[in-house]
A and B are shown apart, each in its own frame.
Chain A
Amino acid sequence: MPEVAVIFGGPSPEHDVSVLTGLQAARGLAVAPGGAGGAGVRALFWTKTGEWYEVDPGLEAEAFLEGVPRGAARLQFTAAPGGGFAEPGGRLGRARALELDAAMVCCHGGPGEDGTLQAALDLAGIRYAGPTVAGAALGMDKLAFGAVMAAADLPTLPRAQLLADPGPAPFDGPFIVKPRYGGSSIGIDVVEDFATAQARLAANPHLRFGAVLEPYRPDLSDLQVAVRTWPSLELSAVERPLRAEGSSDILDYRDKYVAGEGMAGASRELPARIPPELEKSLRQAGERIAALAGVRGVARIDYLSDGRELFVNEINTVPGSLARYLWVAPPVPFATLLADLLDEARQRPTHAYSAAGADGSVLRSAGSIAGKLG
């Protein structure tokens, strides 16, 4: 019987949120038509330190409070054909590989959403739902994604790489400083002037691999829409997430995730009450972005708007709770969403390695290596 894996966790600040998404998906798959039914769902937990365990898919969130849940079975992972996930062999037995039909990737932030995990699964020959390597990497790189949007003439706020070089600011403050790579909610600073922004480069550990600078526009509020391209291009209802009482101006990690149900529990206006023209441009932009960013699986596009103007902010290629709560108009049940995702995983390949052209001619005419080095 073909088995489906749900992969969640990972070395990322959104590890805990990913546990919630993964457990929700595992429950959803247990009842999904075209999913695997109860027996065929395997829950694969990726620890904060990068190890792999198989856990009971029926666990509750609190089982993960201390780290690896009780009763978890250690797995080994080999990123090569015939590899994949396997129960390690003991002294007597050989390693037993998990035969997986497809995997549901539920990892947020870090290597689970930036293409690292996707690449490893590609190398191991495991089919998976969600973005490809390229789509995930583009989604995680704010600078690159912003540049692709700007090059396609989609409306965006100015976004520049923040460097410590002397010189004037590329635009006026106040500014938002964000890590160039990583989840959208961690490590963000709002600063008054450019000098302070540059000072954050040394002080904020999340900016160590790069930072982007944007103008701070408190007049703009968030609008979000989910998009999928399988079985056909489809956008969900538009949501305006609401901020918790007394929280800071930017929708931050605690607003989004500490309500208790992950993204599904945050307070929201759904569908958002926005003018029809705004909604129309938002949806048109969304369709273009789906193609430009190579959306596969379910992605959530975040916009900023003041009710009249619209700006593309970011894309999340593995959104919290797989954005299941956004599919209300028209309604798409979670089971259908999951079944379509698995279908896409099986039928829409993520990679095609080619060795065409390596026909030996270069090797034959090479001469001696020592000769080339001398």
Chain B
Amino acid sequence: MSAVGIRLPLALAGAGRFHGGPAWFTVGACVAACLPAGLRWLRVAQREHYLGGSATRFAIRWWRSTGPDATLATAAIAAALASLAWPIAGVATAGAVALGPLGLSLRGRTSPLHWTRRLRTLAAAWAAVEVVIVAIGLVTGLPAPLSVAAVLAVPLAVDLACWSTAPLERRLSAPFVDRARTRLQRVDPTVVGITGSFGKTSTKGHIAHLVRPTRTVVATPASFNNRVGLARAINEHLTDGTEVFVAEMGTYGPGEIADMCRWCPPDIAVITAIGPVHLERFGSEDRIVEAKSEILAPAGDVVLQVDDSRLAAMADRAEADGKRVLRCSAVDRSAEVCVVRSDDGSRVSAYAHGAALAEGVAMAAGIQPSNLAIAIAVALVLKVDPAVVGARLDDLPQVDHRLQAVQAASGATILDDTYNSNPAGATEALVALAASNRQVPEPAPGAGPGRAHRLVVVTPGMVELGPRQFDENRRFGTAIAEVATDALIVGRTNRRALMAGLASVGASPTEVRLVPDRHRAVEWVREHLGPGDAVLYENDLPDHYP
């Protein structure tokens, strides 16, 4: 019947089966199912910054995450195989893919689909991939199986579209980058480039605070840390007359920072920390070290935290290359800049080149001494008077959602550490939670039987740790068991790992609860916690995570 198609010799019997009414019905159902499936995975791609490979990764994660979803996935694949012989079975595949994964909604709660120009381009490219697959089916006389393949492969098709549109997007962003380059040359500020696996945003905020009284300073706004974001920050925020531009440079893979440094070269290069963050995309921590070190090349001054041996080695190499290096530490007084916390954790003292800059300054728990040391070092490189720097430590603002302490209406203490989570930060957060217990006053005598104070941890665990994700989360679970009275595990992404860790501490009184989303956890906290209790919200995952 296929007069225009190429007749492939087929081992399967009855090639004529593929051209009946049922076959076309299947084709229709699959094409229709592509729509909801496409919306789902396009949203994931958008949330994952259009990185190729994310949609497939998340698809695998979602379809395996619960019993019903795994069943649905198995049914879909089984039906797809069956459709080779009975095309009508493909309708079941279409139905499964249209419905699931259950829990990954079409529109999204925390992060709905934004129909930006870039997403529309991606959607068009994805649609083209799907059309090609179906067209191959029509041309080869296998419309039903290929439609079923098309609907099963939606996440893969989204990734293909991401990869193929990446060069186009780069070309489209070129005029903005050119404008930014020109503007930067005209305004000619001293550029401080900051990168690191974590601590970038906090350190950037500290630098701006310390430098503000004596220089006009502009820092890149939150999350404007990639090529397009940096260009936008320069084009829209770098006012004429700015003397210091603090640019946060983030990266998901090697070469990105080198690329940004080509048109926004830092005069002062800063690396805050190295850790297993975005490990999935890098592959290994060594590659993370390499990628971050790209920021050092154009700079004359380098500021590094040297408590990490890899960064200490980098400092030595930079010095050998002829750069001026300021080493910063949270423990070693012999480093050029050192900031240490007092024993009870409530104060810090800062030392520069051996002399004390400030001693015993009250400092919120969420401020990391190493980040502060780096900020002080940068201020000194910018020739801010050390006395001014010391004085500015008095009113250093808390960083939003980085171990930010607030008092709830119920009287409980809330530690908000939801911005992002890395293993080191998670450990610090638990220390802070334990410390908040010590600071609670004893109930007045005669006030009635007090109940034990509760220390609660609410967390979905940590993500993007690649092959280390299970182990790091299990370790986190163990650490939680040693501190907390209650643990609420949010979502399914790290549930098994966290529970394994919690179970491994035998005599722990930690009560574990499983909640599907943070909303439910907050309700529980509101209901059960009161004065004297403390809750730590560690990390928060958007709803495109299972």
- Spell out A's residues near B (CB within 8 Å): 11, 47-51, 66-68, 70, 203-205
Closest to A47 in B: B236
Cβ-defined contact, B213 with A204, below 8 A: yes
- Please report which residues of chain B, range 207-231, place their CB below 8 angstroms from some CB of chain A when the two chains form the complex: 213-216, 221, 224
Provide the residues of chain B in CB contact with A47, threshold 8 Å.
Answer: 236
Q: Is the CB of A205 within 8 A of B236?
A: no
Across-interface contacts of A68 in B (CB, < 8 A):
236
How many residue pairs link A and B with beta carbons under 8 A? The number is 36
Q: How far apart are the CA atoms of A350 and B419 in the complex, in Å?
A: 52
Q: Please tell me if the beta carbons of A49 and B221 are within 8 angstroms of each other in the complex.
A: no
CA distance A227 to B57 in the complex (A): 64
Given known contacts A47-B236, A48-B239, A49-B238, A67 and B221 CB-to-CB distance under 8 angstroms: yes
Could you list some 9 contacts between A and B, CB below 8 A?
Answer: A48-B236, A48-B237, A49-B236, A49-B238, A67-B221, A67-B237, A70-B116, A203-B385, A205-B215
Question: Which of B215, B232, B240, B385 is within 8 Å of A11, CB to CB?
Answer: B240
B333 at interface, CB cutoff 8 A: no
Of listed B221, B224, B232, B235, residue having the most chain A CB within 10 A: B235
Given contacts A67-B232, A203-B385, A203-B388, contact A11 B239 (CB under 8 A): yes
Residues from chain B with a CB closer than 8 A to the CB of A11 are 239-240
CB of A102, distance to nearest CB on chain B (Å): 28
Size range of the chain B interface in the assembly = 10 to 19
**Residues in chain A near residue B233, CB distance under 8 A:** 67
What separation, in Å, do the CA atoms of A373 and B487 have in the docked complex? 88
B-chain residues with CB within 8 Å of residue A67 when the two chains form the complex: 221, 232-233, 236-237
Minimum Cβ distance to chain A for residue B214 (Å): 5
Interface of B is mostly: loop
Q: Is B183 an interface residue, CB under 8 A from the partner? A: yes
Q: Is B243 an interface residue (CB 8 A)?
A: yes
In the complex, residue of chain A having the shortest beta-carbon distance to the beta carbon of B234: A49
Nearest B residue to A12 by beta-carbon distance? B239
Once the chains are docked, how many angstroms separate the CA of A49 from the CA of B216?
A: 14
Listed in ascending order, the chain B residues whose CB lies under 8 Å from chain A are: 116, 183, 213-216, 221, 224, 232-233, 235-240, 243, 385, 388
Question: Which chain A residues border B238 with CB–CB below 8 Å?
Answer: 49
Q: Is the CB of B216 within 8 A of A205?
A: yes
Nearest 4 A-B pairs (CB), nearest first? A67-B236, A205-B216, A11-B239, A48-B239
Q: Which chain B residues border A51 with CB–CB below 8 Å?
A: 235-236
Name A205's closest neighbour in chain B (CB-CB): B216
The CA of A11 and the CA of B235, in the complex, are separated in Å by: 12
Cβ of A114 to closest chain B Cβ, rounded Å: 14
Contacts of B183 in A (CB 8 A): 49
Q: Is the CB of A49 within 8 A of B214?
A: no
Q: Please give me the residue from chain A that is nearest to B116 by CB atom.
A: A70
- Point out which of B116, B183, B216, B239 has the most chain A C-beta atoms below 10 A from its C-beta: B239
Q: Which single member of A48, A50, A66, A204 contacts B214 (CB below 8 Å)?
A: A204
Decide yes or no: A49 and B215 within 8 Å by CB, A67-B221, A203-B385 being known contacts. Answer: no
Query: A47 CA to B235 CA in the complex, in Å?
Result: 9
For B237, list chain A residues within 8 Å (CB).
Answer: 48-49, 67
- CB pair B388–A49 under 8 Å, yes or no, is no
B243, A205: Cβ atoms closer than 8 Å: yes
Report which of B213, B224, B240 forms a contact with A50, defined as CB distance below 8 A.
B240
Identify 6 new A-B residue pairs, CB closer than 8 A, beyond the known A11-B239, A49-B237: A49-B238, A66-B224, A68-B236, A203-B214, A203-B388, A205-B214
A residues less than 8 Å from B224 (CB atoms): 66
